[in-house]
Amino acid sequence: STASPPPRRRKEQWGSRLGVIMAVAGSAVGLGNFLRFPGQAAQNGGGAFMLPYFISLLILGIPLCWTEWTMGRFGGTRGFHSAPGIFCVLCRTPKARYLSVFALLIPLVIYMYYIVIEAWCLAYAWNYATGDLMLGKDSAAYESFFADFVGIGEDGHAFGGGGSPLLLFIAITFVLNFILIYRGVAKGIETFCKFAIPLMVVCALCVLARVLTLPSDQVNDGLGFMWNPKPEALTDPKTWLAASGQIFFSLSVGFGVIINYSSYLTKKDDVVLSGLTACSMNEFFEVCLGGLITLPAAFIFLGVSVASFGTFGLGFNALPNVFAQMYAGQLFGFLWFFMLFLAAVTSSLSMLQPFIAFLEEGFDLERHASATLLGIIALAGSLFVVYFSAGLKALDTFDFWVGTFLIFVLAMIQAVVYGWVFGIDRGEHEAHIGAHMRIPRFVQLLLKFVVPVYLGVIFVAFFFQNVL
């Protein structure tokens, strides 16, 4: 059972404090920041979305993020790195491992579709580098490029087998992820994130500067389209669910990912300031870069029709028009998609690591054997997505049920385990070992009393409105 003493494996640890922050921030900053966030905001009230968004960040996101860092290190310093193991030591009963199945399965399932989109990013970066994506001002050309590339059939459904170039890019993406995972936490994940994140900042700032220096009335209209508040959205429970779902997705909170990453910390490491730093970096990427680039730019060139593109369609159908019409669009198109690709890699790595830890711990496999086994499972899943999923709309629907709904459930489980089983007093003590700053006491009370109720109310309201 997972509750038996941990086996004598070589112990993995992060190389440096900066490294672990970069790895967690790398997990957080991803397609969610640049594609999902603008799409969610536009669909759920524009600027008004920011109210539930920031409330969710302060009440749910940051506090739950701290609990994950804390619980993860607690389990890790007792020899457990997988969610089942960690939940067992937290709850002091082997039965608790069943609570953690979502924490294993959600990241793996998300990985299976996330990596396909990651491969699209790489392919688009490549096609900008070669100039093949400079198709002029005809927006239909980009839609057919995309449809051909991902293999959407005549009826607009099913990726329909994805042509060979797509499979090539999936293969490259897959191998890159695999090599990094295979090398391990410090040598693979940490090293890559430490170089990718600064590079992403540079690329994104270049694109932002380009977008904001378009003619100013256009920029105003573009920003207005995304940010003008539609207050009526605030009375719809779906807006609140979407806002908290976006916070979870974006911060990688409620996935079992941070629990796993922080289990490679030691007693000497700080979790409070590190957690806060990673959250802040994520918000900078999301609100300042994602929020100011993707949708405003698309609106400037395409007008209100951008609303019809859906979350992922926006990135691949709408944005190429933008680059076609701006000066030096080829360069900026390349920078943009390359940046998206890096952001996606640093996220997808974190979706694999929890399951690897589980295979190592639960089945006593070596890291290399676990990575290989997981690689095979994940590849099979991704190919399934490529060949059998039913197009972009289906991707959005799927993303809602796994990326918003299930995360919600898992976040609730984590909040209850922390607040009511592990206990906020132990939690508070544990969080401050090695810490460089204090978490205000009221946050603990918030976690115990407010968070579960807040999650529950949104959940029930949404359920009544949409499911029943």
- Residues forming contacts to ligand PHE in the complex (CB under 6 A) are 27-28, 30-33, 107, 110, 249-250, 252, 255, 257, 347, 350-351
* Closest to ligand PHE by CB, 244 or 350: 350
Distance CA 96, CA 103 (A): 12
Q: What are phi and psi of 174, to 5 degrees?
A: -65, -45
Residue 20: strand pairing partners = none
Return d(Cα 336, Cα 168) in angstroms, integer: 21
> Under 8 Å CB-to-CB from 114, ≥6 apart: which residues?
30, 31, 344, 347, 348, 351
Least gap, CB of 132 to ligand PHE (angstroms): 27
The tokens describing 465, both together, are: 């409105």
The rounded distance, in Å, linking the Cα atoms of 211 and 205 is 10
Which structure tokens are listed for 199? 């590079």
Instruction: Quote the least distance from Cβ 449 to ligand PHE, whole Å.
Output: 27
Residue 250 or residue 370: which is nearer to ligand PHE going by CB?
A: 250
Which CB atom, from 258 or from 326, has the smaller least distance to ligand PHE? 258
Residue closer to ligand PHE by CB (options 404, 444) is: 404
Instruction: Give me the least distance between CB of 33 and ligand PHE, in Å please.
Output: 5
The least distance separating ligand PHE from the CB of residue 75, rounded to whole angstroms, comes to 18
Furthest C-alpha separation in the chain: 65
DSSP for 203-268, written as a single string: HHHHHHHHHHTS-HHHHHHHHHHHHSB-GGGGG-HHHHHHHHHHHHHHHTTTSSHHHHHHTT--TT
- Give whole-number Cα distances, 26 to 38, 96, 106, 388, in Å: 19, 29, 18, 30
In the complex, minimum distance from the CB of residue 117 to ligand PHE, in angstroms, rounded to a whole number: 10
Shortest Cβ distance from residue 297 to ligand PHE (Å)? Answer: 19
Which residue lies nearer to ligand PHE by CB, 143 or 286? 286
**Smallest distance from the beta carbon of 29 to ligand PHE, in angstroms?**
6
Cβ atoms of residues 260 and 81 within 8 Å: yes
Q: Which residue has the tokens 């997988």?
A: 82
Whichever of 260 and 444 has its CB closer to ligand PHE, that residue is 260
Cα-Cα-Cα-Cα dihedral sign, residues 72, 185, 17, 77: positive
Q: Minimal distance in Å, beta carbon 402 to ligand PHE?
A: 10
Q: How many CB atoms lie within 10 A of CB 156?
A: 11
Class of residue 111 by CB neighbours under 10 A (exposed 0-12, middle 13-18, buried 19+): buried
Distance CA 13, CA 122 (A): 30
Q: How far is CA 28 from CA 308, 396, 417, in A?
A: 27, 19, 23
For residue 315, the minimal CB distance to ligand PHE (Å) is 12
Residue 158 or 455 having the CB closest to ligand PHE: 455
CB of 261 to ligand PHE, least distance (A): 10
- Closest to ligand PHE by CB, 61 vs 419, is 61
Rg (the chain; Cα; Å): 21
In whole angstroms, the minimum distance from the beta carbon of 346 to ligand PHE comes to 9
**In the complex, what is the shortest distance from the CB of residue 30 to ligand PHE, in angstroms, rounded to a whole number?**
2
Q: Between 27 and 263, whose beta carbon lies closer to ligand PHE?
A: 27
Based on CB atoms, which residue is closest to ligand PHE, 145 or 408?
408
Alpha helices per DSSP H over 101-163: 101-129, 139-150
Closest CA to 418 of 63, 9, 52: 63
Which one, 233 or 251, has the nearer CB to ligand PHE?
A: 251
Which residue number, 347 or 382, has a Cβ lying nearer to ligand PHE? 347
